[in-house]
């Protein structure tokens, strides 16, 4: 008995719901399907199906065995696919989306290096500061910071990222350093108008709380707010990668760091699929490796 062939026949019977349909799908005869199933049941010494003249249904043992067999066949198919893909240079198009500043600062440089290594791959990156529907909008990959809700996506966590409150040394010299979250009420705060409200969030003693902020400069573009913060126009609340170069150069200083909310997860997303193209798998590994080189800076 060809055990692998018998297992494949068993899975096909279960998935099609009948012996006849399985025979048609496998392009073989009904007696051959019946014989392979009987041989497999004899080998296992269990009945996999309850059969009547009208229908066929999995037994409890059959249901348990089916799941394991499906994983086995899927693993073999994946192995064959990867072996085939490894023998050819990756090519084709990848559509990816990421938040604007994160894309500009982190993902675009990573992709440029990827294309230099794999010149037959074409990548279209869409930088969007909104919640993108990866599947409906046809993206192959997406980058998202924060909570995950769509269970139909595969989400690989790549890092944790802090949100920090910063100001220029000149601003702090003129207006004083904030000591408590309540102090922001007496400061000019730079307001991001794309957020749902003018509140900044803080965390202390395992509790998160909010503080309404006000200021005389606001924008729907983070780059404008970062520049205003650098110019000493007020306090700003940013995800750390957005202002890290300015913090390193001393142009901005972190304040109220002991009241920061817990760091948010950075996820790489893609539609659930057993057989991702080689180019997509390569890009996933490439981006994750690049993030690994710098992610320690986002949580310290």
> Which of 102-131 are b and which e, b meaning 16 or more Cβ less than 10 Å from the residue's Cβ?
bbeebbeebbeebeeebeebebebebebee
| Residue 62's CATH number | 1.10.10.10
Mean pLDDT to the nearest integer, 153-180 = 93
Same domain, 150 and 167: no
Among 33, 56, 86, identify where a domain stops.
86
Claim to verify: residue 173 and residue 239 sit in the same structural domain: yes
pTM: 0.68
Question: 32, 57, 86 — which closes off a domain?
Answer: 86
* pLDDT band of 87, cuts 50, 70, 90: low
Q: What is the pLDDT of residues 93-124, one digit of tens each?
A: 999 999 999 999 999 999 999 999 999 999 99
* Average pLDDT of span 81-92: 74
| 184 and 194 housed in the same domain | yes
Q: What integer is the mean pLDDT of 126-133?
A: 90
What CATH number did the domain enclosing 130 receive?
3.40.190.10
60 and 49 together in one domain: yes
Residues 146 and 169 in one domain: no
Are residues 184 and 55 located together in one domain of the fold? no
Domain co-membership, 231 together with 280: no
85 — pLDDT class (breaks 50, 70, 90): low
Number of compact structural domains in the chain:
3
DSSP string, the chain: --HHHHHHHHHHHHHHSSHHHHHHHHTS-HHHHHHHHHHHHHHHTS--EEE-SS-EEE-HHHHHHHHHHHHHHHHHHHHHHHHHHHTS---EEEEEEE-HHHIIIIIHHHHHHHHHHSTTEEEEEEE-SS---TTTTT-SEEEEES----TTEEEEEEEEE-EEEEE-HHHHHHH----SGGGGGGS-BEEETTSSSSEEEEEETTEEEEEE---SEEES-HHHHHHHHHTTS-BEEEEHHHHHHHHHTTSSEEESGGGPPPPEEEEEEEE--S---HHHHHHHHHHHHHHHHHGGGG--
**Together in a domain, 104 and 225:** no
- What CATH number did the domain enclosing 190 receive? 3.40.190.290
The verdict on 106 and 192 lying in the same domain is: no
**Per-residue pLDDT at 126 exceeds 90:** yes
Residue ranges making up the domain that contains 167 = 163-259
Q: Are residues 65 and 140 in the same domain?
A: no
Q: Are residues 130 and 278 in the same domain?
A: yes
pLDDT of 197 higher than 70:
no
Q: Are 170 and 255 in the same domain?
A: yes
């Amino acid at each position: 008995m060809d055990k692998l062939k018998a297992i494949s026949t068993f899975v096909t019977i279960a998935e099609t719901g009948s012996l006849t349909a399985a025979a048609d799908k496998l392009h073989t005869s009904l007696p051959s399907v019946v014989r392979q199933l009987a041989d497999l049941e004899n080998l296992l010494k269990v009945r996999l199906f309850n059969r009547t003249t009208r229908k066929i249904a999995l037994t409890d043992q059959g249901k348990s065995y089916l799941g394991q067999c499906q994983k086995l066949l899927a693993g073999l198919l994946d192995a064959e696919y990867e072996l085939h893909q490894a023998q050819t240079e990756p090519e084709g198009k990848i559509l990816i989306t990421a938040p604007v500043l994160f894309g500009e600062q982190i993902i675009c440089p990573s992709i440029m290096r990827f294309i230099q290594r794999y010149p037959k791959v074409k990548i279209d990156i869409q930088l969007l500061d909104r919640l993108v529907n990866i599947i409906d909008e046809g993206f192959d990959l997406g980058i998202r910071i924060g909570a995950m809700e769509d269970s139909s996506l595969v989400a690989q966590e790549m890092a944790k990222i802090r949100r920090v409150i910063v100001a220029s040394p000149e601003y702090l010299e003129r207006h004083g350093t904030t000591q408590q979250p309540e102090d922001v009420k007496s400061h000019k705060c730079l307001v991001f108008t794309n957020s749902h409200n003018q509140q900044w969030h803080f965390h202390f003693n395992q509790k998160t709380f909010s503080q309404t902020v006000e200021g005389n400069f606001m924008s729907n573009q983070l780059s404008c707010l970062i520049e205003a913060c650098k110019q000493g126009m007020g306090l700003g609340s940013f995800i750390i990668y957005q202002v890290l170069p300015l913090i390193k150069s001393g142009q901005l200083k972190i304040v109220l760091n002991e009241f920061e909310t817990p760091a948010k997860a950075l996820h790489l997303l893609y539609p659930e699929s057993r057989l991702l193209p080689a180019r997509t798998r390569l890009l996933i590994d490439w981006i994750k490796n690049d993030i690994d080189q710098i992610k320690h800076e986002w949580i310290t």
